[in-house]
Amino acid sequence: MKKGLRWGYTTGACAAAAAKAAMLLILGTDAGGSPVGRRVRSVEIPFPDGRRHSFEVRDSGLRNEGAECVATASVVKDAGDDPDVTDGAEIVAEVKLRKRGTRDGDRYSPGPSDPVSLRGGPGVGIVTKPGLPVAVGEAAINPVPRRMIREALTEAMETAGAGADPPEVEVTISVVNGEEMAKRTLNHRLGIVGGISILGTTGYVRPVSAEAWTATITSSMDVARATGQDEVVLSAGRASEKAHMKRHGLPEECYVLIGDYLAFSLLEAKRHGFDRIHLCAQWAKMLKIAMATPQTHVRFGAIAAARAVEFLNALGADLPLDREFNTAREIFEYIVDTVPDGHGLLDRVCSAAGDYAEEITGGVPVTAYLVSYEGEIVAGGE
């Protein structure tokens, strides 16, 4: 971890903490097993790595629904220093208990060996496409968060002395304003509608990490394969993606935003068994790819203009060696405005990028498309 950067907690960890708080409240004890009134102020839960962490409970309470008592508790997500869309999200857990063997219509039907029924409430998305670790029609609560929630509930029951003969438990996880938050994620592309996902494989959010990007890339390809797609479009950004959609209009599931994770994405596409790969980028990133750069973010090095000129001249550009270019875009504009057969040169850059990408994929065909700063495909393709 970089000095000064705080780690945070996933939505899954927050959901588990909220569920434990609600369970303690409905069982009438606090985290230490002492009688509690209508408020739980903090809880501690186990994490997959064996450590334990404490969470402040924002709100908790009891209410009656007919003859039933319902407990609710909420935890606010702290993503640390990671620029996470869900930072500050209020994760709410609602817990109901029933004696074993009772049912409430079709709403509650746990298996005989699983006393916990886990549901998604408002703000938690529903899975509508295959290929994700959660079945179609289920709430988008991933496997590790489901396990963390169950472990936290088990601890609460043991604390309250109910572990020997646990009751049947119905838990509903909700997210305040989750549907609005989801609009700033790629959930719609994955077929998750109506809210955010309850995620996390470790319980932790690592600040400014690549994990969220690469996990989404993999999930997007999982969905593409599960929906029968045999080709995939890897786009460095939304402008490039939209340009390819406008020109070729492949099914939405084919499109995967890769950011700067070129090599990772190409290897994932190969692992998923796609027959063909489309690669879309604007000039600066396409030039980096053509120059055999596996990670295209500027923090791994800006394009050295002199080296880029040498590379382009080797492709037949005939750029003046005594001219100082400040940016990749300045080189692009010079080519478009001045170089004879500039379009042919741009095509050759795309070919070089495709060749480099195919070295990474081990021969899976890659077609590169250069997208202009105005959002149009101007070179490459077939």
User: Which CATH number fits the domain that encloses residue 115?
Assistant: 3.30.2110.10
pLDDT tens digit string along 65-88? 877 889 999 999 998 877 778 999
Instruction: Take residue 112 and report the two structure tokens written for it.
Output: 């005989």
- Of 381, 363, 370, 353, whose CA–CA distance to 275 is shortest? 363
> Residue 349: phi, psi to the nearest 5?
-65, -45
Query: With contact defined as beta carbons under 8 Å apart, do 178 and 42 qualify?
Result: no
Structural domain harbouring 78: 8-205
| Domain contains 221 | no
Predicted pLDDT at 324: 83
| Domain contains 277 | yes
Domain end (from 139, 170, 205): 205
Do 157 and 279 belong to one domain? no
- pTM of this prediction? 0.76
pLDDT over 80 (residue 30): no
**Percent share of the chain, pLDDT over 70:** 88
CA distance 369 to 234: 10
Domain end (from 148, 171, 205): 205
Question: Which residues have CB under 8 Å from 142's CB, separation 6+?
Answer: 12, 133, 134, 197, 198, 199, 200, 201
| Domain contains 238 | yes
pLDDT tens digit string along 166-189? 778 999 999 999 999 999 888 988
pLDDT tens digit string along 220-244? 999 999 999 999 999 998 999 999 9
Do 152 and 233 belong to one domain? no
Do 247 and 199 belong to one domain? no
> Residue 42: phi, psi to the nearest 5?
-160, 155
pLDDT tens digit string along 287-313? 999 998 765 444 444 567 788 888 999
Do 178 and 246 belong to one domain? no
**How many residues are recorded in the chain?**
382
- Of 198, 192, 194, whose CA–CA distance to 180 is shortest? 194
Band of the pLDDT at 280, cuts 50, 70, 90? very high
Mean pLDDT value across residues 28-38: 60
376 secondary structure, DSSP code: -
- Give the mean pLDDT of the chain: 87
Predicted pLDDT at 263: 93
Do 171 and 36 belong to one domain? yes
| Domain contains 342 | yes
CA distance 3 to 20: 32
Do 151 and 253 belong to one domain? no
| Domain contains 2 | no
Predicted pLDDT at 5: 72
Query: With contact defined as beta carbons under 8 Å apart, do 141 and 118 qualify?
Result: yes
- Which segments within the chain are labelled E, that is strand? 8-9, 42-46, 52-56, 59-65, 68-76, 90-98, 116-120, 123-124, 126-127, 168-175, 192-193, 195-196, 204-205, 231-235, 255-257, 276-282, 366-371, 377-380
Do 48 and 144 belong to one domain? yes
Do 200 and 242 belong to one domain? no
Strands 116-120 and 168-175: parallel
| Domain contains 20 | yes
Do 103 and 198 belong to one domain? yes
| Domain contains 160 | yes
| Domain contains 211 | no
Do 163 and 262 belong to one domain? no
Predicted pLDDT at 248: 95
Number of structural domains, the chain?
2
pLDDT tens digit string along 206-221? 876 677 788 889 999 9
3-class DSSP assignment, residue 168: strand
Domain end (from 170, 205, 240): 205
Do 177 and 241 belong to one domain? no
- Of 118, 126, 123, whose CA–CA distance to 95 is shortest? 118
pLDDT tens digit string along 251-278? 999 999 998 899 999 999 999 999 999 9
Interior angle at CA 178, CA 120 and CA 202, nearest 5: 70
Do 200 and 232 belong to one domain? no
Instruction: Take residue 339 and report the two structure tokens written for it.
Output: 């170089």
